[in-house]
Amino acid sequence: MAGAGSFRREMLEAQAPPAARTGRLRWLQENLFSSWQNALLTLLSLAAILWLVAHVWPWFAHSVWDAGSLTECRAIIRETWGEGASGACFAVIRERWQQFLFGFYPRELYWRPTLAFVLMFAALAPILFAELPRRLRWFAVAFPGIAYWLLWGGPASVPLAVYAGFAIAFLVHRAVAARASELVALILAAAAMILWWLHLAGPVARALPILPLQPVGSSRFGGFTLSLVIGVTGIAFSLPLGILLALGRRSQMFFVTTLCVGFIEFIRGVPLITLLLVASFLLNIFLPPGTNFDIILRVIIMVTLFASAYMAEVIRGGLAALPRGQYEAADALGLDYWKSTRLIIMPQALKISIPGIVNTFISLFKDTTLVAIIGLLDPIGLTTAIRADTNWNGIVWELYGFVALLFFLCCYGMSQYSQYLERKLRTGQR
């Protein structure tokens, strides 16, 4: 049947590639054994992982959760698994986990930090996820007051009086702005707010003790609660402060620029620990004689100032990366400085600087551990205290592993969220 009619009339089905070029085998060949150097590296890495697992797994498998001291732990491990067996003594975590979480907070009041922690997520959710209704953001505004009231106790009128200051500023601003210029209204509103806080808020709050909770002193704060209190407050305040500093640094006004540059470079030039030392030794010398305010508050102020200087540099990068045309377009629309900043410049600049902002948040949260050096009992301070206890003298991996895991979860979570946000906000233009 040779000749003109012997060609095929229909397409052949594509053949499957040879077995060595498909599926797992191909993946293995491409990713693990592409050359002899790679094969060697793969084998070495596998050997290292195996060695690690071979050492760590028995340690986990032989862990003891119920013992009163390290010697008791070791005795149990010896009895159960024979002489020379290694095992983890997680009993120390079991005994002290409440301290790790709450410090020396009164045991019967644990529900208060717990509730504040849960409410924190309720307050964060509308900020983190834009799909939720915007009205929920009012809860985020109210949250700092609620958290303060829950954590430190006392009458609810104290945070309410602080909020009243903002309400007064708003009312004054609205009343004045109708008659005089914007700037006058702003100055008067700020003056009214400061006067209220300095002279009236205290007496009013004392006169109306609504919903009093049992007060808890700062000295009883510790553990992860302390880290979160310092970290979250620092994060919440360093962003706005950083934005203001960045705007100040880029402003045309010579003196404002000089002040901002001086502040930013000073803070970035010294280690945080020196600032914390200032907070704990020197602040009393700088303030009027007789003032003595809370050590946690002092630490929060210093951590916030520290992070805001770094934040300012990150945001300045975002501002600089924004094309000049955006500034000019905003001016051409006739928007004034604050309107163009709020509506045109900042949304874009902040979007560009998300990775840097979140990195600053993460390092701020990690830096909260430095308070251990000035004697506060954050998780690291607690590990030192526990290791000094005769019962647990000599314990290393279990304690540090636990604390490292707590911090890792928080920081890794933040960095994952920032990647999610970057993906979501990517508008496709480059």
Partner 1 sequence: MTSIDTHQEPFRLGMLLNDTRYRSLTIQVFALAAFILATAWLVSNTVQNLSALGKDFSFTFLGSRAGYDISQTLVPYTNNSTHGRAALVGILNTILIAILGCALATVLGVLIGVLRLSGNWIVARIAAVYVEGFRNVPVLLWIIAIMAIITESAPAPSAFRGEEASASMLFGAFAVTNRGLYMPWPVLGPGWQLVVLTFLASLAAIVFLRRQARRRQEETGEILPIFWLGTGLFFVPVLLVDALLGGPITLDYPVLERFNFAGGGFVDKALLALWLALSLYTGSYIAEIVRAGILAVPRGQTEAASALGLRPRRVMSLVILPQALRVIVPPLISQYLNLTKNSSLAIAVGYMDVRATLGGITMNQTGRELECMLLLMGFYLLVSLGISSVMNWYNASVALKER
Give the binding site for partner 1 (CB under 8 A). 30-32, 34, 38, 41-42, 45-46, 48-49, 181, 183-184, 252-256, 259, 266, 268-274, 277-278, 281-282, 284-289, 362, 366-367, 369-370, 372-373, 380, 383-384, 387, 394, 396-397, 400, 403-404, 407-408, 411-412, 415
Which residue, among 246, 227, 228, has the nearest Cα to 310 in the 3D structure?
Answer: 246
Instruction: State in angstroms the smallest separation of the CB of 407 from partner 1.
Output: 5
Instruction: State in angstroms the smallest separation of the CB of 10 from partner 1.
Output: 41
Measured from the CB atom, is 252 or 390 closer to partner 1?
252
In the structure encoding, which two tokens stand for residue 124, read together? 């964060």
Q: Would you say 249 and 264 are in contact if contact means Cβ atoms under 8 Å apart?
A: yes
Residue 201 one-letter amino acid: A
Kindly state the DSSP code that residue 377 receives in the 8-state scheme: -
Phi-psi region of 27 (alpha: psi -120 to 50; beta: other; left: phi over 0): alpha
Residue 194: CB atoms within 10 A of its CB come to 12
Q: Would you say 395 and 92 are in contact if contact means Cβ atoms under 8 Å apart?
A: yes
Instruction: State in angstroms the smallest separation of the CB of 201 from partner 1.
Output: 21
Instruction: State in angstroms the smallest separation of the CB of 258 from partner 1.
Output: 10
Measured from the CB atom, is 192 or 276 closer to partner 1?
276
Instruction: State in angstroms the smallest separation of the CB of 274 from partner 1.
Output: 6
Q: Cα(288)–Cα(415) distance, rounded to whole angstroms?
A: 42
Q: Cα(28)–Cα(39) distance, rounded to whole angstroms?
A: 10
Measured from the CB atom, is 141 or 198 closer to partner 1?
198
Instruction: State in angstroms the smallest separation of the CB of 23 from partner 1.
Output: 15
Measured from the CB atom, is 157 or 227 closer to partner 1?
227
Measured from the CB atom, is 42 or 114 closer to partner 1?
42
Helix pair 70-81, 91-102: axis angle to 10 deg: 140
Q: Exposure of 40 by Cβ count < 10 A (0-12 exposed, 13-18 middle, 19+ buried)? A: exposed
Measured from the CB atom, is 50 or 167 closer to partner 1?
50
Residue 337 one-letter amino acid: Y
CA dihedral 329, 335, 339, 342 (to 10 degrees): -10
Instruction: State in angstroms the smallest separation of the CB of 337 from partner 1.
Output: 8
Measured from the CB atom, is 167 or 282 closer to partner 1?
282
| Residues forming a β-bridge with 89 | 64
